[in-house]
Amino acid sequence: MKKAAIIGAGIGGIAAAIRLVVKGYEVTVFEANESFGGKMHEFWLGKYRFDAGPSLFTLPHLVDELFELAGREPSAYFSYTRLDPITHYFWPDGSRLKAYAAADKFAEEAEQQLGVPKQDVLQALAKSARLYKGTAGTFLQKSLHKASTYLSPDVLKTLTCLPDLGLTTTMHKANAKQFQDQRMVQLLDRFATYNGSDPYQAPGTLNIIPHLEHNIGAFYPKGGMYAIANSLVKLAEELGVAFRYKEPVEQIITLSGKVMGVQTGNGNYNADVVVSNMDVVPTYRRLLPNHPAPEQTLKQPRSSSALIYYWGIKGLFPELHLHNIFFSGNYKEEFEHIFRRKTISPDPTVYLNITSKMEPQDAPEGCENWFVMVNVPHDEGQDWDKLIAVTRETVLNKLSLMLGTDIAPLIEQEKVLDPLLIESRTSSFAGALYGSSSNSRMAAFLRHPNFSSAIDGLYFCGGSVHPGGGIPLCLLSARIMGDLVPDATRKQGV
């Protein structure tokens, strides 16, 4: 039986394991940590449960399709509900808006709360949908590094919407051209952060992202985000995938330009196919030290990272929902701080996620589990202890002011995650959340491919390679990788 070794049990690695076991491989996943999930893990602080990393779930069919691929009924393992409203937005001037799931209702709310013409919102969402439909087949669902991609009918679709793609403008400029209201522009610019980018630099093409949330929908997995990883690992184990925890891969073994297997502290493991779900930078630097690395690709600027305060809050806030955004007063300044000055703005936008709104058992009675996140630069040697302390005060002042309640005395449990911890726990280079940023027109083409052209049998999946970071894109990276790996049952040369 042909063997596949997967390095890392992040969401990309788990999806890759399922795809390859279905293709007939004997699959072993090597994970450095004591359990699976990578950035997607959960933990308890006293009686409060927290999802440590991702909190927004889009394109759930990409999870369902893994169960279907294995001939299983997805709902027997995993279920989710469509959110409505999706997000509660708060601005420093006191205005508030609920982003409803239905486009019409969302547009009506924008007209009522912000005075933005309803028709303009509907037009922006329709444009986002056109962009997505015109580009997804080419940019998100296939390898950009295979000639066959450019011969597919999807390329024609992309070419027909070329004038609309926004390649010659930025996300912000495109949004500012569409709306006069700065709050609406800010709301749409925020989607750049979904892949760790800067709306003032990223191409207008990224305005496809609102389509995912507002037209297709945002969802909540029953049991929290961790349920995604948990249910997929259950499936993988049933299919025979072996998970070896606390066994970091130390080297990818190669011979004459072909993978032979992996080396761990426990010895060598032979494999016909090796898939790295580890960030691509340390994959080359640590696991392939004797091979030339694709320096141009590895030098691409990293995405932003995050600073998270997990707070167990003694109190209930009925005006808050699962997803809440407290915007900064000057968005341009905020991104200037993150991407150019490489520090945290003194007035950051604060994202507040509260899963106990959906699952009351995630917090004790009369309490809420607050996941309070600020976008920050990736690590470049900043004084994180100082930034964590200063930003904590800023965030507390901001939330206390905007919610009209002194928050600090309500915190009864606390833990912090910063870029250094993100890197040390998952080997994500510089603690970047999404690999490289998408701040240039060429960024999509400069991500590492899902295969190695120098080493036969070596493949890549996960947030640092094509098509990018975020749960849906990691799942797509595993799908693209799976399409490239030959069936284990197919005879060589046939």
Ligand X SMILES: Cc1cc2nc3c(=O)[nH]c(=O)nc-3n(C[C@H](O)[C@H](O)[C@H](O)COP(=O)(O)OP(=O)(O)OC[C@H]3O[C@@H](n4cnc5c(N)ncnc54)[C@H](O)[C@@H]3O)c2cc1C
DSSP 165: S
H or E element, residue 422: helix 419-426
Q: Using the rule CB under 6 A, is 474 a contact of ligand X?
A: yes
Task: List binders of ligand X among 302-321 (CB under 6 A).
Answer: 306, 308
Q: How many residues bind to ligand X according to rule CB under 6 A?
A: 36
The rounded distance, in Å, linking the Cα atoms of 358 and 367 is 13
Distance in angstroms between the alpha carbons of the first and the last residue of the chain: 17
- DSSP letter for each residue of 341-365: S-S--SS--EEEEEGGGT-GGGS-T
Q: Using the rule CB under 6 A, is 38 a contact of ligand X?
A: yes
Maximum C-alpha span of the chain = 70
Token couple for 461: 């999946």
**Alpha carbon of 12 to those of 200, 217, 295, 463: distances in Å?**
29, 22, 23, 8
Enumerate helices (H) and strands (E) in the chain, giving the number of each.
Answer: 16, 20
Q: Using the rule CB under 6 A, is 426 a contact of ligand X?
A: yes
Pick the binder of ligand X from 18, 23, 27, 30 (CB under 6 A).
30
The rounded distance, in Å, linking the Cα atoms of 14 and 27 is 11
Of 34-42, 82-90, 234-242, 383-391, the segment contacting ligand X by CB under 6 A is 34-42
Pick the binder of ligand X from 60, 137, 463, 467 (CB under 6 A).
463
Pick the binder of ligand X from 4, 28, 54, 347 (CB under 6 A).
54
441, 171 in Cβ contact below 8 A? no
Q: Using the rule CB under 6 A, is 206 a contact of ligand X?
A: no
Shortest Å distance, C-beta 12 to ligand X: 3
Query: Sign of the C-alpha dihedral, residues 9, 142, 147, 169?
Result: negative
Task: List binders of ligand X among 242-261 (CB under 6 A).
Answer: 248-249
Pick the binder of ligand X from 199, 221, 470, 482 (CB under 6 A).
470
254, 38 in Cβ contact below 8 A? no
The rounded distance, in Å, linking the Cα atoms of 433 and 414 is 22
Pick the binder of ligand X from 28, 33, 230, 254 (CB under 6 A).
33
Of 28-36, 71-79, 125-133, 329-337, the segment contacting ligand X by CB under 6 A is 28-36
Q: Using the rule CB under 6 A, is 377 a contact of ligand X?
A: no
Shortest Å distance, C-beta 11 to ligand X: 4
Of 35-43, 119-127, 177-185, 484-492, the segment contacting ligand X by CB under 6 A is 35-43
Q: Using the rule CB under 6 A, is 11 a contact of ligand X?
A: yes
Q: Using the rule CB under 6 A, is 138 a contact of ligand X?
A: no
The rounded distance, in Å, linking the Cα atoms of 419 and 261 is 31
Q: Using the rule CB under 6 A, is 53 a contact of ligand X?
A: yes
Site residues (vs ligand X, CB under 6 A) = 7-13, 30-33, 38-40, 53-56, 248-249, 277-278, 306, 308, 422, 426-428, 433-434, 462-463, 469-471, 474
